[in-house]
């Protein structure tokens, strides 16, 4: 397994070891011992799966403390453009984002620590997206940040994404009360 820091050091790109032959392939999508060997001792408590069609954009989502979630995300079928935005108060990369294409073909994963808003846009006909979370979903803690917030300037790969009602009404980052954001403590 290869783990590389992205443009924002606390967001990690994970490339699992893939073993393939004429029959197909095999890889460990998660093994706590192996991740711990690489410094990622992460207590995941909930797994989620979503299926979306081309052009669907989900996000930018996060949860406020104490329910802030870290996420390990990947794609089982199709491809997405995956985005993590640092919204940790006091972070040197506050308001900055990193984006990677995740696909069934490349089998890459992203680890996104608590304090980041997360979203993805489907670039294939459909995508089966999976994510492990470090905290349970809490509707009262949920925050949605506008995917097209001009202060973030995220270059999404499609011009007119299909959004949920919640995402189409999301606030700009500047309008999120500071007490709802995670405070930067020097690491993920």
Q: Tens of pLDDT along 61-111? A: 999 999 999 999 999 999 999 999 999 999 999 999 999 999 999 999 999
Q: What is the pLDDT of residue 25?
A: 86
| Residue whose C-alpha is closest to residue 29's, from 11, 47, 8 | 47
Q: Give Dmax over CA atoms of the chain in angstroms.
A: 54
- For residue 36, the SS3 value is helix
Q: What is the pLDDT of residue 39?
A: 82
- For residue 162, the SS3 value is strand
Domain boundaries in the chain? 2-18+26-180
d(CA 69, CA 132): 9
Q: For the domain made up of 2-18+26-180, give the CATH fold.
A: Jelly Rolls (2.60.120)
- For residue 86, the SS3 value is strand
33 backbone dihedrals φ, ψ, rounded to 5°: -60, -45
Cβ-contact 130, 48 below 8 angstroms: yes
Q: Report which DSSP code applies to 184.
A: P
Q: What is the pLDDT of residue 187?
A: 58
Q: What is the pLDDT of residue 50?
A: 97
* Higher pLDDT among residues 42 and 156, named by residue: 156
Q: What is the pLDDT of residue 28?
A: 85
Q: Which residues are annotated as catalytic?
A: 61, 131
Has residue 2 got a pLDDT over 60?
Answer: yes
d(CA 143, CA 33): 32
pLDDT digits (tens, 9 = 90+) for 133-188: 999 999 999 999 999 999 999 999 998 999 999 999 999 999 999 999 999 987 55
Q: What is the pLDDT of residue 15?
A: 93
Q: What is the pLDDT of residue 31?
A: 87
Has residue 118 got a pLDDT over 60?
Answer: yes
Q: What is the pLDDT of residue 27?
A: 85
Q: What is the pLDDT of residue 185?
A: 87
Cβ-contact 31, 116 below 8 angstroms: no
Measured between its terminal Cα atoms, the distance across the chain in Å is 20
């Amino acid at each position: 397994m290869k783990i590389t820091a992205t443009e924002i050091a606390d967001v990690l790109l994970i490339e699992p070891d893939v073993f393939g032959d004429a029959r197909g392939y095999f890889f460990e999508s998660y093994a706590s011992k192996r991740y711990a060997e690489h410094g990622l001792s992460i207590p995941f408590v909930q797994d989620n799966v979503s299926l979306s069609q081309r052009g669907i954009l989900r996000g930018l989502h996060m949860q406020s403390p104490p329910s802030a979630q870290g996420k390990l995300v990947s794609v089982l079928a199709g491809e997405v453009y995956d985005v993590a935005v640092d919204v940790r108060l006091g972070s040197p990369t506050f308001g900055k984002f990193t984006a990677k294409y995740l696909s069934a073909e490349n089998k890459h994963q992203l680890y996104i620590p608590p304090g980041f808003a997360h979203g993805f846009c489907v670039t294939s006909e459909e995508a089966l997206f999976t994510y492990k979370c470090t905290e349970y979903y809490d509707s009262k803690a949920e925050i949605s940040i506008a995917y097209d917030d001009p202060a973030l300037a995220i270059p999404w790969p499609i011009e007119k994404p299909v959004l949920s009602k919640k995402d189409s009404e999301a606030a700009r980052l500047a309008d999120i009360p500071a007490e709802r954001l995670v405070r930067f403590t020097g690491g993920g």
